[in-house]
Amino acid sequence: MSRHRRTALVIASLVAAVALVAGCGQDDTASGGTATTADTAPVTVRVGYFPNLTHAPALVAVHDGLFAKALPKNATLETKTFNAGPEAVEAIFAGTLDVAYLGPNPAINAFQKSKGDAVRVISGAASGGAFFVVQPGITTAADLKGTTVADPKLGGTQDVALRTWLAGQGLATDTSGGGDVHIAPQENADTLAAFTAKTISGAWVPEPWATRLVQEGGGKILVDEATLWPGGKYPTTVIVASTPFLKAHPAIVTALLGANIAAIDAIGKNPAAAQVAVNAEIEKVTGKKLKDGVITAAWKNLTFTSDPVASAFKKAAADAKAVGLLQSTDLNGLFDLSALNRALGTAGQPTVPAS
């Protein structure tokens, strides 16, 4: 039997096992209560993600049908794509999205904005892979004074990182684009065009956009975000669930997280095949594939893991508050990793802590 065939069988077995446990374990809810008829009634599961390398586990799970295979028979999968975390959060608030892959800061913002009611972080997906890329002539932070730089979204994970780093360098910013350095949040594709045209001096972006700014825009890396975190570990993408959905459908959430685990396993066992799958899904959503050189180089900067690196959230919240993007650092109740740890146990993998 070929190595690829053995890998496929292992993943199929893992997904089937998680689906079985999820379908039978309806008395074990994520909130610690008891299951209801909602666990067996027909339900549409709406999952959101970005067409981006940092969301590779979601893209692989969609491409390979892992979500659909893992869900119990009463559940129907519906996927939606977004360009930034705050957009996905608004969809959760509007009741049109149940589970979303997004950055830690939008997750924190959603939790705070809803007074702890709307969302829970239920798993990790990716860590690492964010950089501050600047024009070649910029060598120090002082060179940025009076310039304009970009990031994906006001209040997003990279936005907080950029503002925090600039503040540490003695450079003031504000949320309206003023200050010593002018921050212009924009979509990543617009950032690449602006950087190439040299109308912005830099951008703090996740992969593959950091690599694209270097390879296609002629930029250089000024800051690797990993250097700003203890041990170089920080979450880039986590999975959140709407709290009502998590409480009503614990079996379905466990099944989804089992598929996420299977996707991460597939990525680790066959990165080349995973890159093909991810690129195919990116093309399906955006109409354009990434260049092979871009995806290969960017892939090396990312770690795909179901661990949300919960210990890093306190710093993320403190940083956001310090730059005026968050009112409170109270994250009590943000995490519910019970479904994740059930799925990890089924997969024979170690559980992860919620702090």
Q: What is the pLDDT of residues 231-245, one digit of tens each?
A: 999 999 999 999 999
pLDDT in tens, 116-132: 999 999 999 999 999 99
Half-sphere exposure of 332 (CA within 13 A, CB side): 2
The dihedral built from the CA positions of residue 255, 256, 259 and 265, taken in this order, carries a sign that is negative
Token pair for 355: 């702090």
- Which amino acid, one-letter code, is at 262? A
- The listed CATH number (3.40.190.10, 2.30.30.30, 1.20.140.10, 3.90.1310.10) that belongs to domain 3-129+233-346: 3.40.190.10
What's the rounded Cα separation, in Å, for the pair 245 and 239? 13
Q: What is the mean pLDDT of residues 282-288?
A: 94
In the chain, CATH 3.40.190.10 sits at 3-129+233-346, 130-231
pLDDT in tens, 166-215: 999 999 999 999 999 999 999 999 999 999 999 999 999 999 999 999 99
Summarize the chain as % helix, strand, coil (round to 5). Answer: 50, 15, 35
User: What pLDDT score was predicted for residue 201?
Assistant: 98
Pairing of strands 220-224, 75-81: unpaired
User: What pLDDT score was predicted for residue 84?
Assistant: 82
Say yes or no to pLDDT of 18 above 80: no
What's the rounded Cα separation, in Å, for the pair 105 and 111? 10
Check if the beta carbon of residue 6 is closer than 8 Å to that of residue 269. no
Q: What is the DSSP letter of 291?
A: P
What's the rounded Cα separation, in Å, for the pair 201 and 148? 6
Say yes or no to pLDDT of 16 above 80: no
Q: What is the mean pLDDT of residues 44-59?
A: 96
Q: Where is average pLDDT lowest: 20-29, 164-173, 190-199, 329-338?
A: 20-29
Q: What is the pTM of this model?
A: 0.86
Check if the beta carbon of residue 306 is closer than 8 Å to that of residue 354. no
φ, ψ of residue 304 in degrees (nearest 5): -100, 120
Categorize the per-residue pLDDT at 354 as very low, low, confident or very high, splitting at 50, 70 and 90: confident
Categorize the per-residue pLDDT at 39 as very low, low, confident or very high, splitting at 50, 70 and 90: low
Q: Which of 94, 92, 15, 18 is nearest to 48 (CA)?
A: 92
User: What pLDDT score was predicted for residue 29?
Assistant: 38
Q: Which fold has domain 130-231?
A: D-Maltodextrin-Binding Protein; domain 2 (3.40.190)
32-36: long-range contacts, CB 8 A cutoff, minimum separation 24: 32/338, 33/247, 35/250, 35/251, 36/248
User: What pLDDT score was predicted for residue 22?
Assistant: 39
φ, ψ of residue 327 in degrees (nearest 5): -90, -30
User: What pLDDT score was predicted for residue 25?
Assistant: 34
What's the rounded Cα separation, in Å, for the pair 59 and 274? 9
Residue with tokens 């990993």: 226
User: What pLDDT score was predicted for residue 86?
Assistant: 85
Q: What is the mean pLDDT of residues 292-321?
A: 95
Check if the beta carbon of residue 45 is closer than 8 Å to that of residue 88. no
User: What pLDDT score was predicted for residue 41?
Assistant: 84
What's the rounded Cα separation, in Å, for the pair 182 and 61? 38
Check if the beta carbon of residue 71 is closer than 8 Å to that of residue 77. yes
Categorize the per-residue pLDDT at 12 as very low, low, confident or very high, splitting at 50, 70 and 90: very low
- Check residues 21 and 201 and name the one with the higher pLDDT: 201
User: What pLDDT score was predicted for residue 38?
Assistant: 55
